[in-house]
Amino acid sequence: MRFGINTFLFTSPFTTRSTGLLPKFKKWGFDTIEIPVEDPSHINPERVKAALDRNDLVCGSVCACMSPDRDLRGTAQQQKTGLAYMKALIDQMVILDCPSLIGPVYSAVGRADAVPAKEYAAQWKTVVKNLKTLSKYAEDRGRTICLEPLNRFETDFINTCDQGLKMIKDVDSKALKLHLDTFHMNIEEKNQAKAIKKAGKLLGHFHACGSDRGTPGNDHIDWKPIVAALKSIRYKGDVVIESFTTDVKVIAKAAAIWRRMEPTRDEIAVKGLKFLKKNIK
């Protein structure tokens, strides 16, 4: 099991120049970094990979940033744009030697329409079709896609582990797995540990986030059964801290971070990693 940090805590967008953050992440004790690639043109994957190698780090995951024009249940153009964007990310992942594309790969973040059941069913079929295409593209390149349920304020489409597993079943590709996040589960799941156990071997990626998007461990989440559940399914993937602060203005607005959760963002990373290593390893 490896411990990682999502770079949104420190910068947006992540560019090739952002690799200047890597020595700090390594010094703190992280094994991997998670890069939200907001646009493929923002990074030179060869140079990013070289910087990772110099710092003895790996890119454990690339996070898909699903803007309104990238939507696998949207208009024909939005679907086309979304697929092209994520295929480009997968191509970059091959160069980065990154195994997993993660996040809400099915729809634009912030789209919460509460559509009638008939329309929802039609959207579901559209997403299944598009994820079949994307999963085949990933499988042919030895990559995995990890689909993340989001809370009700960020999507009306896939909120729970059960919904995520149903999508995975309908797509029926060995390249498609589940990505669970303690922040979203804290809102949507009756029991986080049970959701993790239900995901089982299909759990491909895990975000360890505080209940308020702050430091894991400095919050009200009951971490003991979560850790026990991860151990019970023999989870061996990355455990990544994905927290946001008011320091990165564009992400703070997108994630509705209106106040400072912790004294500094460095503390979120350092204290969060210390907590996770102590309680999971």
Active site positions, annotated:
148, 242
Q: How long, in residues, is the chain?
A: 281
Q: Please, are residues 205 and 237 in contact by the beta-carbon 8 Å criterion?
A: yes
